[in-house]
Amino acid sequence: MKFTFQCPECHGQFSGARLFMKFSKLFFFCPNCRSSLKTKGIGIYLFFILAAVGMVSVLYLQRQVQLGQQLSLLLPILLIILYEIIAVLMVCNKAQIIVKRKRTRNRIKKTETQ
């Protein structure tokens, strides 16, 4: 399994660790050329993984309430971190990354002057 991916616009390699703390793994920017990138082919997988993580977390917390134990958020937090790691690995290995919009300096200058 690789943990890096390549921008289709500038062909710059960058690490999947950049995506770890991003909210959306489906839309992000290339750090080299600032092009807007979009991932295809993993959205439905991420949805089902997130649904499974949420269901396990709710069932775990519900079971703790039934047993009258003190609520521990350790397992749900670990499941969320595991989801983030799986999502980044899916972007690096399975997703097709395409350029949604190119960012050029001329376009940025035009919008600043208007």
How many domains are there within the chain? 1
Question: What pTM, to 2 d.p., does this model score?
Answer: 0.70
Amino acid at position 46, single letter: L
What DSSP state is assigned to residue 70?
P
How many Å apart are CA 91 and CA 77, to the nearest integer?
A: 21
- Taking the C-alpha atoms of residue 33 and residue 62, their distance in angstroms, rounded to an integer, is 47
What would the pLDDT profile of 1-39 be if each residue is shown by its tens digit?
Answer: 777 777 777 887 877 777 777 777 777 777 777 778 888
Helices then strands, counting H and E runs in the chain, come out as 3, 5
- Total count of residues recorded for the chain: 114
pLDDT at 16: 74
pLDDT tens-digit readout, 40-77: 888 888 889 889 988 888 888 888 888 877 777 788 88
Residue 80 banded pLDDT, cuts 50, 70, 90? confident
Residue type, 105: R
Dump pLDDT digits (tens) for 81-97: 888 888 888 888 877 77
Domain that holds residue 16: 4-113
Distance between CA 98 and CA 83 in Å, rounded?
Answer: 23
Q: Which residue has the higher pLDDT, 30 or 109?
A: 30
